[in-house]
């Protein structure tokens, strides 16, 4: 599985460092951000446009679970709350992105712990969980790990 730095470098090759956000971030999404946005584009969606406009960063990569704000050679990671993820999914499927106040939050501790444990290669014990088919949402942007 590619690292977050490798994923970000596909969009912004000059980035050399990824850090976790230390505090939540309020984003004011305006109708102009929605009009200039592109569906199914991580770096061109309405939320990315609003982040670039409001924070004057070089770029933004937004998925349904994580957001990266790029400033120079550094990218800052945020978690995307469920209400924002639902707006992203609706936007990618052709509905509008409702203008308003949204929040990107500092990464959840459970996400950070999970990322640290990904290197562990356990044995498949044949449990129901390991045999369960995964469902994938369609008509939305790809997950960042699948790029």
Are 21 and 76 spatial neighbours (Cβ–Cβ below 8 Å)? yes
Pick the range with the lowest mean pLDDT from 85-89, 109-113, 123-127: 123-127
Average of per-residue pLDDT across 39-43: 91
Residue 78 pLDDT = 96
The listed range with the strongest mean pLDDT (1-5, 29-33, 125-129) is: 29-33
Name residue 74's beta-bridge partners: 17, 71
Average of per-residue pLDDT across 105-130: 61
Average of per-residue pLDDT across 121-145: 60
pLDDT of 72 above 70: yes
Here the tokens at position 73 are 């050679």
| Prediction pTM value | 0.78
Residue 108 pLDDT = 77
Cβ atoms within 10 Å, residue 91: 22
Residue 134 pLDDT = 53
Average of per-residue pLDDT across 58-79: 96
The mean of the pLDDT values for the chain is 84
- Rounded Cα–Cα distance for residues 111 and 145 (Å): 14
| Residue 131 φ then ψ, to 5° | -95, -10
């Amino acid at each position: 599985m590619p690292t977050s730095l490798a994923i970000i470098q596909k969009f912004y090759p000059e980035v050399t460092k990824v850090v976790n956000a230390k505090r939540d971030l309020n984003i004011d999404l305006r109708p102009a951000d929605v009009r200039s946005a592109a569906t199914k584009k991580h770096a061109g969606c309405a939320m990315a446009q609003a982040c670039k406009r409001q924070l004057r960063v070089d770029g933004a990569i937004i998925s349904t679970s994580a957001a990266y704000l790029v400033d120079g050679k550094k990218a800052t990671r945020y978690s995307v709350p469920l209400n924002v993820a639902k707006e992203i999914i609706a936007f990618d499927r052709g509905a509008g992105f409702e203008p308003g106040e949204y929040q990107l939050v500092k990464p959840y501790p459970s996400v950070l712990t999970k990322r640290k444990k990904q290197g562990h290669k356990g044995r498949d014990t044949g449990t129901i969980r390991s045999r369960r088919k995964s469902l994938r949402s369609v008509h939305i942007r790809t997950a960042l790990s699948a790029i």
